[in-house]
Amino acid sequence: MNAGSAMSEPYQDKNTASQDILKFSSRIDERKLFSVVGAFDVPQLSYDNTKGTFVNPGLLSKLIDSSNVQTNQKNDKRSVSGKKNQKTYSDIKYNGLITDSSAKIELFRQRYDIIRQRLQRNDTFLRETPSGNLWNGCMFIDSISSLKGREDQDFVIFGMLSQIEEGVYCIEDKEGRIKLDLSEMVLDEEDSTGIITMNSFILVEGHLNDEVFIVNSLSQPPPEKISESKSAFQGVDFFGGHSFNYDQVTLKAIEDLDDNGAIIFLSEVWLDRPEV
């Protein structure tokens, strides 16, 4: 067997496989490969910190039910008073948008748990040692309340950035908060901190001094590959909609064959305007 024939067989196999996929894709209705899922039809999942997985939340339904009851009571009072019966929130299909203040608190608690569970399985930065978990060589604390009495050590805190008053920043988690001193923090041109806003969840590195956390650096939580997220939560449907009859390998092969395919995202498109 010469070198030419040795190299031609794998090439022929690959070419034959591509032709088979191309013939197969020509019989597929591409319109069935897409599914439009409305915002109110997406599964409303809640992360259960004790179980380590996503579940259907009971709190959200309770908040919706309580808001609907309060709205209906107000509407009943209006009708009794003899005022004109106008269109009420209960007549709107998606009246679940109206909740009380506890829904906002639960939103931040959920965001904290979801990001933290992702950090806890990060093999790039997080290391387990006999003394505890280390994040880039610094102790990664379990909660802000565990900082008390532990000065002269370098720590990494994960929490939400907030202001308790004008110009006084702090970081807080589900168990407490601590003031931040940003005077010693240095950002160089190569720093990839990104844009950090109020109420964003960040990683803060520094040490404790007189119940104030002296910040050396801060950063955003590192991203996670979609393959790792899928592996951690197998079988969880985050988006809803109908399931496709083709496996992921076949769909990926069909996508690679279409070099001209593109998905375009548009916003603020008013189809009733001639210029649009």
Question: Is there a domain that residue 80 lies in?
Answer: no
171, pLDDT greater than 90: yes
119, pLDDT greater than 90: yes
Between the alpha carbon of residue 76 and those of residues 70, 85, 92, 98, the distances in Å are 10, 10, 16, 18
> What does the pLDDT average to over 148-164?
91
> To the nearest whole number, what is the mean pLDDT of the chain?
77
182, pLDDT greater than 70: yes
Distance between CA atoms of residues 136 and 129, nearest Å: 12
Give 113's Cβ-side CA count (13 Å radius): 17
Distance between CA atoms of residues 6 and 12, nearest Å: 11
Between the alpha carbon of residue 207 and those of residues 121, 128, 173, the distances in Å are 24, 20, 17
Distance between CA atoms of residues 197 and 30, nearest Å: 41
Residue 225: alpha-carbon gap to chain centroid: 12
Q: Which residues constitute the domain of residue 145?
A: 126-223
Distance between CA atoms of residues 168 and 183, nearest Å: 12
Q: Which of 223, 240, 259 delimits the end of a domain?
A: 223
For position 241, what pLDDT does the model report? 79
For position 276, what pLDDT does the model report? 80
Strand ranges (E), the chain: 46-48, 53-55, 126-129, 132-135, 138-140, 154-165, 168-172, 177-181, 201-209, 212-219
Question: Is there a domain that residue 116 lies in?
Answer: yes
Note whether 46 and 183 are same-domain residues: no
Return the biggest CA–CA distance within the chain.
98
Distance between CA atoms of residues 7 and 254, nearest Å: 26
Note whether 172 and 212 are same-domain residues: yes
Question: Is there a domain that residue 174 lies in?
Answer: yes
Note whether 107 and 185 are same-domain residues: no
Helix boundaries (H) for 27-93: 59-80
**Residues constituting the chain:** 276
Q: Which of 182, 207, 223 delimits the end of a domain?
A: 223
Contacts of 203 (CB under 8 A, 6+ apart): 119, 135, 156, 157, 158, 218, 219, 220, 221
167, pLDDT greater than 90: no
**Total domains in the fold of the chain:** 2
Contacts of 224 (CB under 8 A, 6+ apart): 118, 122
pLDDT-derived band of residue 81, with 50, 70 and 90 as boundaries? very low
> What does the pLDDT average to over 4-10?
43
What is 127-169 written as a DSSP string?
EEETTEEEETTEEE-S-GGGGTT--SSEEEEEEEEEEEETTEE
Q: Give me the CATH number covering residue 154.
A: 2.40.50.140
Note whether 53 and 173 are same-domain residues: no
Note whether 116 and 130 are same-domain residues: no
pTM: 0.69
Least confident of 21-30, 65-74, 169-178, 222-231: 65-74
CA nearest neighbour of 139 among 127, 156, 124:
156
Return phi, psi of residue 92, to 5°.
Answer: -85, 140
Note whether 240 and 215 are same-domain residues: no
201, pLDDT greater than 80: yes
